[in-house]
Every structure is written in structure tokens, then in C-alpha cells.
Amino acid sequence: MKKYSKYFVVAMSTLAFAFSTGTLIKVNATPAAAAAVPAQPVDLTYAAEKSLPSVVHILSTKNSKVQTVEVENDPFSDFFSDPFGFFGNPQGNGGKQRRSVRTPKQQGSGSGVIISADGYIVTNNHVVADADELTVTLNDNKEYSARIIGTDKASDLALIKIDGKNLPAITIANSDDIKVGEWVLAVGNPFNLTNTVTAGIVSAKARSLYQNGVESFIQTDAAINPGNSGGALVNTRGELIGINAMLYSQTGSFSGYGFAIPTSIMNKVVADLKQYGTVQRALIGIQGQDVKNYVDAKKDKGEDIDLGTMEGIYVAKVTEESAAEEAGMKEGDVITAIDGKPVNKMAELQEVLAKKRPGDKVTVTYLRYKKKATKTVTLKNEKGNTQVVKKADLDVLGGNFRAITNAQKEQLNIGYGLEVLKVNSGRLKTAGITKGFIIQRVNDNAVKTIDDLQNAVKEASTSKDPVLYIQGVYPTGKKAYFAVPLED
């Protein structure tokens, strides 16, 4: 379980969002002095009945795998059986040996929300990350195998799919419409206690915890416990307003506040994953912080700062060749509104941009030396243009690969790598990589499996610098280094 500060706990594969039941709410209440119960002015049974069938249990499985690890040399190891699960022949390397070890099978659980009758389900990225198998159990105990359609680490969202028909899809509401103090329900599977509903209120909006790349959380006084990560946060009509994602805790269990990703962000991420396979993220190209935080930091240093406002985003840096630079924005500007809507803190700016795509235009209102100015900004992608960003596939390299054999490891005194079995037309041939070359590292990450190489290609293809920096060795033992551009 990932802890933040003291401690924000990211609800990793087994997190839960549950709401402490306080007062109960009546959503479809008919006028009703007669129906009212003293000290119980609201009834949440309608919301629970509407949302429960749409929330699923997700079992994530990571299969057992064989990995090569380095251990200290033991001169007596050949005389005794190994009680730690090592197998295969150790290979010496100075004071260390390389041994093969089998990792145990791992399982974790979380929650998800059915958003369409044909089986699309939204959950958290950390619930399904690195999973070899996903098993989805519905409210009626029917089980399905699921496949991943797409993931987005920056927002901690993932889209998966099961093969089903006429599934109980939830109604999605606009999270922008919710208000602080409004009653909400959390639905999920805390501690594997399936079909659990708890209640709370919206404590704050547009909260940032500095854990993900994109954050504008709905904060609630939800009782959050392991197992409900990826579950539904719903309003009193049983409509989805957020996907539960984090908790605040000093113990790892609920002790105060929970956080959900609003549907305003979720809808855009889901649409992009369906259409493009990756999120089309629109960037304005600034680094900055909330004005209040900036002013407070200056005061701590004994400096008096007057920006003309205590709300908005202080621009600490304008990225080169960015949308903001092209529009003429400068360090020291204070952004106060986007498209006429006030933005008082960085999380609100992130939420606005999270709904946009590269090429979209926004009107930015800002203060420069306390004087108001307005610019039209054309947003760009991570690569600094307005084109659609698509993740490249392994095919772009134009090669066939396999994990190296034990004989190759022993001969070359290496622990891992991918051998290039064949070079066709593609990026490898252009870069000068030939058959027999063994790839060991890509962009400074170890490459032990074909999946490792595939992930490296996908990550690099959507970055500002779409290049693979490949390190490896030839069968002769000669080491080599190549830069392989993924774009012309």
C-alpha cells in the first residue's frame, strides 16, 4: 500500500472507499412530513439500489515468473540443498553469483464500475497494472475474464472490458454540478466484503495531493479501507460522480478523508482510450503553483510579495516552444481564469485542461504586474504539436526477438537480454542494428522480456523525445549503443 506524507495512501490493488453512515438521505422522497424520521432527514436506499448492480469486484493476478537475481558467492552452495527456491546453475561474477528464482503468484483485489451495457468497466490504473489475469465478478456473482483496453497512469484510470450483454451500466452525472456538503455514497468491496455501501458528504473539490500527473480530486469524509479502489462515488440519485482512488491515513486504514477522480476527467480519459488507445493530453506549457502557496513561501523567507490577488496560479516557468510561450505568456504572470471561468488553484487548471485535446483553443486571463490581460492559447501535446498521439507497437522496430538462453548468459557473462533473431524493414535496420545483437537496456531500463521492450516502445513513442536509446552486446562480447528514432 503506497503511503503519502502522513499518510496519503494510494488505494493500490486492494484499496477501499467506504462512507461512514451518518444521516441518511431520501432522494425520491415524496412530500413528506409523514415519511420523515426524526434525526434521519435523508434516505439513501434509492441511490444504493440504483448503483450496487453496476459496481464489480476485480481480482488481479500476477503469475509466477522466473527471474535472474545476483547473490553473494557461497563456496559451500554445491554441497547443500537450497531452501530458498533457487534453481539452475549459479554463474560466477566476481564476488557474486547469478541464480534463477521463481517469484510467487500474487493476487490483489479492487473494484470497478460498469459504464456501458456491452461490458466497458472503469477502474484505477493501480488496480490492474502489471496484471496477467483479471477476473471480474458482478453483483449477481457472475464471473468474467477481462482484458485491458487502455490505462492512464497520470490520472490513475484504466478501462477494461468483459464480454457481456445487457449489463447494468451506471448513469454518469456531471461532477461539476456537485456541491460541497452534498451527500454521496461509496460503493465497492472493502476487505473483499462485496457489495458494500457507505455514506458521507463532499468535503472539498479540486483537491491536489501531488501523487499523480493529473489531479483534481473530490474530497469526502469517506471511510476508506483496502479493497474498494476503483469503486463508485455516487450522488443521491445513484449517478456516478467519481471513481474512488486515494485515502488519507496515518495507519493504512481510514482515519479521515478519501479522494475520488471526478467524472469530468474520467469521461475524457475513457473516450480517448476507446478511440486512440492512449490519452490525448492537452498542455499549456507552464510550471507553477497556487498563488497563496507562492506568497506564503516568500513570506517565510522574509519577502513581501503583492501580485494583485491571492487567488490563481503563479507562473514560475514557461516551457520553451510551448503553447504558453507562443501566446506570449511570461514568468511572473498570474493565471486567474480559463474561458472566463475563474481558476483559483492549480488543481482547477488541471481539471479544465484534462477535458481538452491538443489543438483546442482556450482563452487565458491573467495578471501581469497587476494588470489584466487576455490571450487565446492553442494547446499542444507532449511532443509540442497538435497532432494525435498514438502509442507505437513493437512492429515499428522491424525485428524478431527472444530472451537469451542460459548458454548465452554463461558465454557472455550477462544475466539477461533479448536477442535480435531477424531484422526486417524498420527502425532497427535504419539504426544499423543487426541479427544476433543482444538488447540489454532501453532508455536506461533493463530489458529482460519482450513485454519490457514493448512497454519501452510505447512509452517513448508518446514522449516529447520519441527515441529508444539501446544498449547491448554482440555475440563476440563487443558492447554497443544505438539511438533509434521512432519518428522521421
Q: How would you write the pLDDT of the chain (488 residues) with one tens digit per residue?
A: 343 444 444 443 333 333 333 333 333 333 444 444 444 467 899 999 999 999 999 999 988 777 666 666 655 444 333 333 333 344 455 556 666 677 888 889 999 999 999 999 999 999 999 899 999 999 999 999 999 999 999 999 999 999 999 999 999 999 999 999 999 999 999 888 888 898 999 999 998 888 888 889 999 987 777 777 899 999 999 999 999 997 766 666 666 788 999 999 999 999 999 999 899 999 999 999 999 999 999 999 999 999 999 999 999 999 999 999 999 999 999 999 999 999 999 999 999 999 999 999 999 999 999 999 999 999 999 888 999 888 888 889 999 999 999 999 999 999 999 999 999 989 999 999 999 999 999 999 999 999 899 989 988 988 888 899 999 999 999 999 999 998 87
pLDDT for the residue 222: 74
Identity at 154, one-letter amino acid code: A
Q: What is the rounded distance in angstroms from the CA atom of residue 224 to the CA atom of residue 218?
A: 14
Q: Please give the torsion angle defined by the CA atoms of residues 118, 121, 122 and 126, in that order, rounded to the nearest 10 degrees.
A: -150
Q: What is the pLDDT at residue 377?
A: 96
Annotated binding site for substrate: 126, 156, 227-229
Closest Cα to residue 110, out of 88, 93, 129?
Answer: 129
Q: What is the pLDDT of residue 18?
A: 33
Q: What are phi and psi of 265, to 5 degrees?
A: -85, -45
Give the whole-angstrom CA distance, residue 68 versus residue 100: 4
Alpha carbons 58 and 393: distance in angstroms, whole number: 27
CATH architecture of 394-485: Roll (2.30)
Give the pLDDT score at 308. 94
DSSP state of 61: E
HSE value, Cβ hemisphere, 13 Å, CA-based, for 259: 24
- Look at residue 19 in the predicted model and tell me its pLDDT: 32
CATH superfamily of 286-378: PDZ domain (2.30.42.10)
Query: What is the domain partition of the chain in residue ranges?
Result: 1-65+103-279, 66-102, 286-378, 394-485
Burial of 175 (C-beta count, 10 Å sphere; 0-12/13-18/19+): buried
In angstroms, rounded to a whole number, what is the distance separating the alpha carbons of residues 234 and 185?
5
| Residues recognised as catalytic | 126, 156, 229
* Rounded-to-integer distance, Cα 354 and Cα 410, Å: 50
Q: Quickly name the fold that domain 1-65+103-279 has.
A: Thrombin, subunit H (2.40.10)
Is residue 146 within 8 A of residue 134, CB to CB? The reply is: yes
Alpha-carbon 338 to chain mean position: 25
Asked if the domains 1-65+103-279 and 394-485 are classified in one and the same CATH topology, the answer is no
